[in-house]
Structure 1
Amino acid sequence: MIHLFVDNIKDPQRPLLAPNYWILRKIGLILPENKINKVIFVIIHELVTVFVITQYMELYLIRSDLDLVITNLKVSIVSFICIVKTNTFVFWQSSWKEVIDYVTEADNNERKDSNTAMGHIISSYTTYCRRLLKFYWTLILSTFFCVTGTPLIRYLSSSNYRDAISNGTEPFPHIFSAWVPFDKYSFPGSWVIVCLHIVMCAYGAMIMSAYDTIAMVTMVFFGGKLELLRERCKNMFGCDGSGVSDDQARTALRDVHSMHVHLMKYSKLFDSLLSPVMFLYVVMCSFMLCASAFQLTMATNTTQKLLMAQYLVFGIAQLFMFCWHSNNVLEQGTQVMMGPYESEWWVIGPKQKQEVLILTEQLRIFEAFSAGPFSKLTLSTFITILKGAYSYYALLRN
């Protein structure tokens, strides 16, 4: 179903970002031009922010029960990161649009090139982005059903638990733990809360689907653009050994230089938008993974264990994909400077050869995307976070 849905979202003006741009507009991360609709979306985003604040109010109220705090903490952390993504995207709307417009324009310009090798690179990263989108949306959807279905599965899988709820020895199960100004454990308040929690969970799933995939697809594009830049460097002085004129060589060098400067400009802008969010995520991810693993080992019901395991897998997979794609861009950035050496540089004049050396040094400049001022989004960072989560888990177990 998701595969057909994604394939049917097409936009001739945005061949790469069509599905991403569609969901960004539908969920309201890209605010509409109409002022009334814009205000409505902003109010919705802020109401969800208030709801997440009530989750932490509830955590404060139950702070004496460690098991209950750990159980609720894993969801509350994800909720907090979700509203940070929402509010930063809306607050930095113009900068995000600038990055999206650059990716769209640069991708469209590359598609006009008839070079076979470059066409293969474009087709490769476009296909990969579609597969990544389908996989991530499927993962989000399964996690949504996992989170919303856990209380129901727990209720249906144990007759003793149902009896305990009926006689009042166990409270009515909720998806989230959040404070409300009415009785949420008895009818009708209990079912009002169930409906509210399902809506909030669906909203959070769509926000993560929109934000995470636009970030990952942008990383994939930057990696593809670096690969295209290397291919363009190979061909800038011809491919048949006959050479080019000084003017043609100068034009080719200027074009490559300009493309790299623009790529660096927008990659830094993108990093400035993503870095604060990823810093928060990296800091809190260890606690979230630790809480999920601890709850998984404490569960006694097999069905509950499977649902908790799926949630843990989602947290690890989400972090891994950010680190993997950032690491891939870094690798492409270190390889792009080989492009001028792979060209037919020997057919040009001495002055152009000096300019090639200058260009090669410029192409060395590229850094991995960061998670705040202290760490880079690389696979080594991913491993470090997993080690930290395991350390916290071992501490809790002991």
Structure 2
Amino acid sequence: MKLGDAPAKFHARKLDPAIAGALIKHLSGLDPYISIWLERVFGTPRTFPPQVEQSRAEARDAVQLAAQLAEIELPSDAFVSPRAETEDETLLQTLLNMGYELDLEEELLPLDLQRFDGKLVGKQRAASVAVFTDKWDQKKLVVMSVNKKPIELELGVDLLYWDKIHDSFTFVQYKRLEKVPSHRPSGGSEWAYKRKEEIEKQLKLMPAGKDSPAMAADWRAFGTPFWFKFVRGDAGSVLDGKTLKGMHIPADWLRLAMKEETFKSGPKGGFRVTYDNAKYLGRTAFTQLISRGFVGTAGARSKAFKRVLHSKKRELIVAVRMDWQKDEEPLGMTSAKEAVGARAAFGPPELPFE
């Protein structure tokens, strides 16, 4: 049907309800999708609880990232909100166009994998690896998701950072805070993590040994390369190109606090990790410590982990973890015999991302 050229000045005009109904009926006869589209546009949108909305936002972000990696264009209705009268469905059924479900990777940590400090430029090398460079285009930082891989199972981490300049690995386990009623005199609410058993399980996997550096290049401000990142449940609602806001807590401090009464701030002394009782770093301080070589592995431990990344054997990861449980001798090699022994144990450095 050819409607002809639109008038030079065309303004929307409200139609009489009877005329509008007749027009919609006529247009629906020409194309049944028109009535479906109008219902989606003008129908009452479905509302979800805040926790479900957070999950929907994170899933949407993951699918958009997957589409970017695959260089495909999502359909315009991929994220259309269902109508209010629709019954409960699974997250994917309500959020995604069915034809794109396979593009959602379980292992993606999309909210932080492609972000660092807002200054370094990130380039996706694989679905779970991003490389950040500075303005001189020198490789500086590799961010890798190890979710659902042997490294996660044996070391209890989700994401690792490899600072190539300082040859240092930093490991991060993510935890989501939930909004709960506050027991402070002022009342209100607060963000807290209450699953004590989960933290205890992951702390057992993270080695507790400390390096004893003999060279300035191997000195670190923290004795552990393992960290927990506690993120608010609504952190995905506002994205600014940087990593998510949250609490970055070193595993060594968390171990001590778990043994004491630091987190007994819930009802009847219940377990809660909150902004009020935790010793933490914000995202700006944490990213600066990584990029300047103040945190992470050094010396033999960095070399050992390169070998772990190259082979991906669980038994090798276990061996590294057991070795890291012991306090090391100074990292500087003081004799030819030590140098030969280290080379035999770890082999030459291998760079898996080159």
Q: Report the TM-score range of the alignment, normalised by the length of the smaller protein.
A: under 0.3
Q: Which has the larger radius of gyration?
A: 2
Greater RCO structure (CA 8 Å; 6+ sep): 1
- TM value normalised by structure 2: 0.23
- TM value normalised by structure 1: 0.22
